[in-house]
Chains A and B, each alone.
Chain A
Amino acid sequence: MNGLLVLAAYMAALNPMRTRLGIPEHSNGRARMGLLGAGTAIGAVGLVALAALARSLLSALEISPETFRIAAGLVLVIIAAWMLFVPVPADEPVPDGAGAALWPVAYPRVISPETIALALTTGASDGVSSASLGLVAASAALVALGPIRRGPLGARILASGGRVFAVVLALVGIWLALQGVREV
């Protein structure tokens, strides 16, 4: 995958606009920035670690990186379809205190089936630096959306943008699956 495609893939998988709708907020409708920043960082570090271990992990599972691309592509397409039909993530119970950075921000908002699949496939095929760059850019975009107030209009814009990212995710998934079939 070239740099632009990796960037598009991580943006689509993390889907900052849809994910923003699932971030704990203050009563004024703005995201709790401390939780968002910390949770996104924790999630991103976890995914980078996964990307770094991807080759060893796939090797231990006796899966070639080329074949895993097919699986990753399939996961991305399924999740993209889910995002299209369910544009707003389900409300999750939020614990008191800093623990909310872990749940529900780091998991399941940042670390999710689609980001796990993408981290594994890009880590195994393109290396950890490529995955890191994609994750940093997508994480920065998510954090940048935090101050947006979630009023009726804001929510609609975020949901619509999330659908656009979902379409991109589906296209990336199809591309990945086809690559997995065509590669040696």
Chain B
Amino acid sequence: MRRRIALHLSVLIVGAAVIRMGVVPAEVCPPVTALDVSTSIEAATAWLVEGMDADGTYLYGYDRDEGRINDGYNYARHGGVTMSLYQAYEVTGDPGLLVAADRGLAHALNRIVEHGGWMGWQPRGDIPLGANGLLLAALSIRRRATGDNIHDELMRGIGRFLVSQQQPDGSILAYWDVRAEEPRNEFGPFATGEAAWALALLDRQMPGEGWGEAAGLTLDYMGEDRNRVEGYATSLPDHWAAYTVGDLRPDLLTTSRVEYARRLAGYFGIRLRFEAQRRGHGINLWLRWYPGPPAGVGTAGEGIGALHRLSVEEPRLADLTAAIEDRLVCTAGFMVRRQVTVDGVAASSLESGAWFYRGYTQMDDQQHVLSTLLAALPVLEAMEEVR
């Protein structure tokens, strides 16, 4: 009998150990305070601002193992980083960040073109939807944070460009073909969401002009038709869609849009829970691989952060608030821990404040994690106030 009991217990213990290692390794959420997050935000913005060139472009990438700067560039990312810096100014009130973001903005404003009643940023070649979406998002956040309406006509002009690319089903074509003088029949994986979010933000700044309705149409497309139309095998965990639904006017929040927000929260939730399981060493490395690329983790954090305010304000999503806050605070905890700080080993100015993935960092790594931390900061402050 003892042998049978031992056999049963052994199977139970071995099974539990296998499940523990393979399916539910510890989700490590290091303790983090609002002060830690503020310090991390300061370091990340310093990396972005100190790496700016005289022409308003940002340091694109840095490989610390080879000590090599990547001198490539991506203009959608330029728009994204500029937008994040305005977000950082809005949260921290640091005037230096407004100056830096305005320098990034000025770089784009040098290349604005007009055509058929709309205005667009043409960094080079055909006019990209995503970069213009993020530029408009940056301008909208700037207006919201400063009250300065100096760029209103440009904002409307870019809004008209985005809407001119929009198709009747809500999809938005990713480029304006300069030679053919018509939209190019091509989609971008993230450009659609970037444009939709920009339109939702524009609607908040300039209500009654129909921008929100256009954003809603594209949101429906992203939630219902995009995978089929654009040929994605699985749903895109699109943080720009999360921003869009988070910033959409409350009267535009239909049942299907709220349900899409719920699905998005689920995508980001599992992504961040999985990320919290990653250690990057020992047997965990074989089972979970290295801690994820900061831009990837950051987009999931941004997505969940964008949905936080919505879950607080929208009763149909109120049941998600506690879990969203758990994920957001957990992500802030492990991302603050993963950031290279001044006290880190051999931290140079090209390393300090950055998040690396296997020795390499890029401007969008800082951008997306920065936006995540900016979303987590008020949550942590509110928690600390309650305590």
Contact = CB atoms under 8 A, between A and B. Distances in A.
B8 A108 contact: yes
A67 B1 contact: no
A108 B23 CA distance: 24
Contacts of A182: 263, 266, 270
A23 interface: no
A52 to B, nearest CB: 19
A64 interface: yes
B287 interface: no
A74 interface: yes
Contact of B268 (A63, A64, A184): A184
B194 to A, nearest CB: 24
Interface string A46-86: 00000000000000011110111011001100000000000
B27 A62 contact: yes
Interface in B225-279: 263, 265-266, 268-270, 273, 277
Nearest to A116: B12
B19 A75 contact: yes
Interface size class of A (residues with CB under 8 A): 20 to 34
Interface stretch (B199-207, B318-326, B340-348): B318-326
B54 to A, nearest CB: 44
User: Which of A66, A93, A103, A116 has the most B CB atoms < 10 Å from its CB?
Assistant: A66
Interface string A147-159: 0000000000000
Contacts of A103: 1, 5
Contacts of B27: 62-64, 67
A67 B27 CA distance: 9
B26 A181 contact: no
Contacts of B323: 66, 183-184
B4 A181 contact: no
Nearest to A95: B1
A71 B1 CA distance: 30
Nearest to B325: A184
Contacts of B269: 66, 183-184
A181 B270 contact: yes
B329 interface: no
Contact of A64 (B23, B266, B273): B273
A113 interface: yes
A67 B19 contact: no
Contact of B23 (A62, A71, A92): A71
B28 A62 contact: yes
B377 interface: no
A183 B320 CA distance: 9
A107 B8 contact: yes
A68 B26 CA distance: 11
Contacts of B304: 184
Contacts of A92: 1, 4
A71 B273 CA distance: 13
B26 A70 contact: no
Given A71-B23, A107-B8, A113-B12, A184 B28 contact: no
B273 A66 contact: yes
A13 to B, nearest CB: 15
A151 to B, nearest CB: 26
Contact of B15 (A61, A107, A113): A113
Contacts of A61: 20, 24, 26
Nearest to B270: A181
A71 B26 CA distance: 13
A65 to B, nearest CB: 9
A107 B265 CA distance: 40
B327 interface: yes
A31 B8 CA distance: 22
Interface string A110-126: 00010010000000000
B262 to A, nearest CB: 9
A184 B19 contact: no
B273 A67 contact: yes
12 contacts: A64-B273, A66-B269, A66-B273, A66-B323, A67-B273, A70-B23, A92-B1, A95-B1, A103-B1, A107-B8, A184-B268, A184-B324
Give 4 closest A-B pairs by Cβ, nearest first. Answer: A184-B269, A62-B26, A184-B323, A93-B1
Interface of B: 1, 4-5, 8, 11-12, 15, 19-20, 23-24, 26-29, 263, 265-266, 268-270, 273, 277, 304, 320, 323-324, 326-327
Given A70-B23, A93-B4, 17 more contacts: A63-B26, A64-B27, A66-B269, A66-B273, A71-B23, A74-B19, A75-B15, A92-B1, A92-B4, A103-B1, A103-B5, A107-B8, A113-B12, A181-B266, A183-B323, A184-B304, A184-B323
